[in-house]
Amino acid sequence: MDLPVICVVSKESNMGKTTVMRALIEGLTQKGFRVGTIKRVHTMQLDQPGKDSWIFMEAGAHSVAILGPDQSALIRRTESEEFPQDVLSELGNIDIALIEGFKQGPYPRIEVVRKEKGTKPVSPPEQLVAVVSDVEISNVPYPIFQFNGLEALVSKIIQDFLIPQSSEAGLTHLDTTGAARMVDVSDKPATLREAKAKGRITLLPSTLTLLLQGNMPKGDVFSVARIAAIQGVKETSRLIPLCHPLPVSSIAVDFLVVEPDSIEVTVRVKTYGPTGVEMEALTGVHIALLTIYDMCKAVDKSMVMGNIRLVEKLGGKSGSYIRKE
Q: Are residues 80 and 200 in the same domain?
A: no
Residue 297 lies in a domain: yes
What domain range includes position 307? Answer: 191-322
CA atoms of 300 and 11, how far apart (whole Å): 71
Residue 172 lies in a domain: no
> Could you tell me the CATH number of the domain that includes residue 305?
3.30.70.640
pLDDT tens, per residue, the chain with 325 residues: 468 899 999 888 888 888 999 999 999 988 888 898 888 766 555 556 767 777 888 888 888 887 777 766 654 566 777 777 777 877 878 889 898 877 777 789 999 998 888 778 888 888 888 999 988 877 777 888 998 889 989 988 888 888 754 444 444 555 545 566 677 776 677 788 899 999 999 999 999 999 999 989 889 999 999 999 999 999 999 999 888 899 999 999 999 999 899 999 999 999 988 888 999 999 999 999 999 999 999 999 999 999 999 999 987 766 678 887 6
Residue 180 lies in a domain: no
Q: Are residues 153 and 271 in the same domain?
A: no
Residue 58 lies in a domain: yes
Catalytic entry in 86, 134, 254, 294: 294
Among 145, 162, 179, give the residue marking a domain's end.
162
Total tally of structural domains belonging to the chain: 2
Among 162, 181, 202, give the residue marking a domain's end.
162
Q: Are residues 139 and 21 in the same domain?
A: yes
Residues 6+ apart with CB under 8 A from 88: 3, 5, 36, 38, 97
Nearest CA among 137, 101, 140 for reference residue 118: 137
Q: Are residues 155 and 195 in the same domain?
A: no
Q: Are residues 214 and 124 in the same domain?
A: no
Q: Are residues 14 and 143 in the same domain?
A: yes
Its sign, for the CA torsion 147, 162, 111, 10, is positive
> Could you tell me the CATH number of the domain that includes residue 113?
3.40.50.300
Report the DSSP pairing between strands 96-100 and 5-10.
parallel
| Rama region for 30: left / alpha / beta (φ>0; ψ in -120 to 50; rest) | alpha
Decide if 294 is catalytic.
yes
